C-alpha cells in the first residue's frame, strides 16, 4: 500500500500521532533492523504515550491547581515540619484512592497545606484519576448559584463523581446549616467512590463547635475522620521562607 494512503487512513481514524511518527521514523530510517511487529509496536507506543500525555494535561487543567506546579518531588521533608517522605509513600499508589481513604492536612497558615494537597492531587492525576480542588467558601457559592439556575443537581453530581476532591481552607468561613447539609450529602454519596483531601488550620478536635448544627457536625466529622490519614504540618510560614530565599535566588520547595 502506498505510504500516502496509509497516512491518510491513519489520520481519518484519528491516529494522527501514529501517522506523524510513521512518516518521521521512516525518514530517519528507524525501521532498519526491526521486524514488522517491532516497528508496529514502536508506532503504537508513540500513539499511546501521546494520548496519555493529553489525558494528563486535561486532568491537570480540570483540577484547578495553582500555577506554581506543586509536586511531591519538591516537597521539603523534615521531622520538624511534621512530614517525612515515608508519610507520603501511600499517596504514590492508587490504593488510598480506590479505598476512599480521606486525607486531613492541618497546620497554621503558610505551612504548606495547600501545596502538599496539590502535590498529592497531581500524583493522582498522573495515576489517571480525576481531581478537583475547591475552596470551602467557593464550594457553597457554586452550589447556591447552581440552585438559582436549576443546575444544582448537575453540579452536585460532578462533585460527587470526582475521584479525588480537595476541599481547601475547611471551616475558615462561616457556613449555614443548609450549606453543611449539602456538604454532608457530597461526603455520603462519594464515600465509596473516592477520598476527600481536607486542608484546614483547625485541629480535628476543634471542628465540631465551628458548625452551627450539632447533628450535622457529628455526621460530617465522623465521615471525614473515619479511616482518614492525618498529617499535621508544623513550623513557620513557608511563604516567608520563600520570600527570604527568593532574595538570595534560591529555589523554592514548599
What's the pLDDT tens digit per position in 119-174? Answer: 999 999 999 999 999 999 999 999 989 988 889 888 988 888 899 999 999 999 99
Confidence (pLDDT) at 228? 93
Confidence (pLDDT) at 21? 85
pLDDT mean over 78-96: 91
Domains located in the chain, CATH noted: 3-61 (no CATH), 65-246 (3.40.50.300)
Confidence (pLDDT) at 149? 86
Confidence (pLDDT) at 35? 87
Length of the chain: 254
pLDDT bucket at 80, cuts 50 / 70 / 90: confident
Candidates 125, 130, 216; CA nearest to 176 is: 216
Confidence (pLDDT) at 243? 47
Q: Convert the pLDDT of each residue in 203-254 to its tens digit.
A: 999 999 999 999 999 999 999 998 899 999 987 666 555 545 545 444 444 4
Residue 58 CA from chain centroid, whole number: 12
Confidence (pLDDT) at 34? 86
Q: Convert the pLDDT of each residue in 20-55 to its tens digit.
A: 888 888 888 888 888 888 888 988 988 888 888 888
Confidence (pLDDT) at 108? 92
- 162's CB contacts (< 8 A; 6+ apart) are 130, 131, 132, 190, 194
Amino acid at each position: 500500500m502506498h505510504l500516502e494512503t496509509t497516512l491518510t487512513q491513519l489520520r481519518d481514524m484519528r491516529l494522527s500521532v501514529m501517522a506523524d511518527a510513521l512518516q518521521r521514523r521512516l525518514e530517519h530510517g528507524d525501521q532498519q533492523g526491526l521486524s514488522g511487529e517491532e516497528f508496529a509496536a514502536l508506532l503504537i507506543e508513540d500513539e499511546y504515550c501521546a494520548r496519555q500525555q493529553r489525558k494528563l494535561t486535561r486532568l491537570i487543567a480540570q483540577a484547578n491547581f495553582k500555577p506554581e506546579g506543586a509536586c511531591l518531588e519538591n516537597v521539603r521533608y523534615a521531622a520538624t515540619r511534621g512530614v517525612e517522605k515515608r508519610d507520603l509513600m501511600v499517596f504514590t499508589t492508587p490504593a488510598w484512592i480506590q479505598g476512599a481513604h480521606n486525607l486531613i492536612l492541618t497546620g497554621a497558615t503558610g505551612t504548606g497545606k495547600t501545596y502538599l494537597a496539590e502535590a498529592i492531587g497531581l500524583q493522582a492525576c498522573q495515576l489517571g484519576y480525576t481531581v478537583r480542588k475547591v475552596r470551602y467558601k467557593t464550594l457553597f457559592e457554586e452550589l447556591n448559584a447552581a440552585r438559582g439556575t436549576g443546575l444544582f443537581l448537575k453540579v452536585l453530581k460532578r462533585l460527587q463523581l470526582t475521584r479525588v476532591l480537595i476541599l481547601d481552607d475547611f471551616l475558615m468561613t462561616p457556613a449555614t446549616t443548609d450549606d453543611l447539609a449539602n456538604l454532608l450529602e457530597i461526603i455520603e454519596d462519594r464515600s465509596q467512590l473516592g477520598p476527600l483531601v481536607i486542608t484546614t488550620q483547625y485541629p480535628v478536635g476543634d471542628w465540631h463547635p465551628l458548625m452551627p448544627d450539632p447533628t450535622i457536625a457529628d455526621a460530617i466529622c465522623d465521615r471525614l475522620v473515619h479511616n482518614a490519614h492525618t498529617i499535621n504540618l508544623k513550623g513557620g510560614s513557608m511563604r516567608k521562607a520563600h520570600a527570604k530565599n527568593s532574595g538570595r535566588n534560591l529555589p523554592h520547595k514548599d
